[in-house]
Structure 1
């Protein structure tokens, strides 16, 4: 018996559903969502809230010997209302970086919780070793890595002002959604510092088990850093 166009369309739709975590065809009872779907929604929302308000585990940082500095974020509520507070280091944090870090490294690695502490806990153990292997394979050396609490992407420029690295990569937790609360991004810039624009940076995003695989991301980041150093540029002008 020939399959109708409606059935073929439904089969195709179900096939598409396998490739996205988006909520599709969740069903309803009257005007209300199904109880199971509502509970899943509330669970995912709670995970997103926990990711934003959570703290990176000390064990995660200790595993890689990362010391901690803070931005001017004050506390989580202030940080969420004032994104600019996460773009500038505290005075104590700036002093610690100058005192403890190598100046003018080829690659400066920085880790930050950003908007998802869970992203760091879930992905750093795979991303950072893969990145270091990639740096070695590409003939690159790294400076002194550290962790920034309460960071935003713009903190790259404040760090660049202090350390003057040739390149900097910031591994930072992304804003969580209802599909995942553990997504990480890697922002990169050639010679970061005051006055840099978003177009001067590049990013590998959606790094997590259900997105860009963490180990693959680490390898790719190292290759991009090599190209940035070879071409002495980053962002939209980099030829990849």
Structure 2
């Protein structure tokens, strides 16, 4: 009898370890086995996650709803398009997503006659779903911090079928000292709703990725929007003070941890 109990306990040990691992991460760990295959439940979960990721890439960008939500918290916006005329072209031609359509470039250039401290761009990127879920909560936390610091903010610019670098052109047209690009990150099988924020000081067409700072995995299951806003505010302050961004601007973890504790 005692041997039977010991054998049953030993059989449960892998299951218990798997539960401990899965409680700590959304990653696909401890999936278990049925013979030489995965359990049917895990196969179905994988198929569902893959479908969510595909849907996020092809989801329509609901600019109107986002613009209304921004207006409700007292901030204006403008909508433009990249040079990619449709979603399939955007996916096949990343270069077109990095610049504005010609007519929208002219319209945006005429919109702002005086410079601003901060330009904010909201782009669908590779997951409009991430933007729909996280952009407004992030901005609702960030905008009061920017205003409290006495920084001027241009209209939030929504860009359809856009890549990160489109923010350089928009920031230059708005004559912004610094641009923040909120963009849907490439969906993974554990998260289809992850938002990224890219900060570039002195935005101009031709800036390299090494000249940007990035805050990634902004979502409820990752870095929650209010804390991401505090991290972004620290980077904004330091970028403007030092007049640089990218690899030359390192995050000081103690400062960020302190900001999180205060929040």
Secondary structure of the residue aligned to 1:32 is coil
Counterparts of residues 10-21 of structure 1 (less than 5 Å): 14-21=19-26
Segment drifting more, 141-150 vs 200-209: 141-150
Gaps of 5+ in 1: none
1:68 corresponds in structure 2 to 79
What count of residue pairs does the alignment treat as equivalent?
239
Distance (whole Å) between structure 2 residues aligned to residue 172 and residue 125 of structure 1: 12
Q: 1:29 aligns with which of 34, 42, 60?
A: 34
Q: Deviations over 1:161-197 (max 9, x none)?
A: 3223100000100000110110000000110102311
Matched, 1:237 2:259: no
Q: Secondary structure at the match of 2:30?
A: coil
Gap regions ≥5 residues in structure 2? 1-5, 71-75, 252-263
What TM-score, normalized by structure 1, do the two folds share? Answer: 0.91
Aligned to 2:156: 145
CA pair 142-118 structure 1, distance change in 2 beyond 3 A: same
Structure 2 residue 117 is matched with structure 1 residue 111: no
1:97 to 103, 108, 119: 108
The answer to whether residue 84 in structure 2 is matched with residue 54 in structure 1 is no
Higher relative CO (Cα under 8 Å, sequence separation at least 6) belongs to 1
Q: Residue 168 of structure 1: SS of its match in structure 2?
A: strand
Per the TM alignment, residue 220 of structure 1 is displaced from its structure 2 partner at its CA by 1.8
C-alpha displacement at 1:83, in angstroms? 0.8
- Which of 205, 224, 230 is matched with 1:194 structurally? 205
Q: Hey, what's the Cα distance between the residues in 1 that align with 2:220 and 2:227?
A: 11
SS at match of 2:176: coil
What is the Cα deviation at residue 9 of structure 1? 8.4
What aligned pairs does 1:206-221 form with structure 2 within 5 A after superposition? 206-221=217-232
Kept in 2, the 8 Å contact 1:140–1:226? The answer is no
Give the helix-richer structure, 1 or 2: 2
SS at match of 2:207: coil
Note the aligned Cα RMSD (angstroms).
2.3
Aligned partner of residue 220 in structure 2, secondary structure: coil
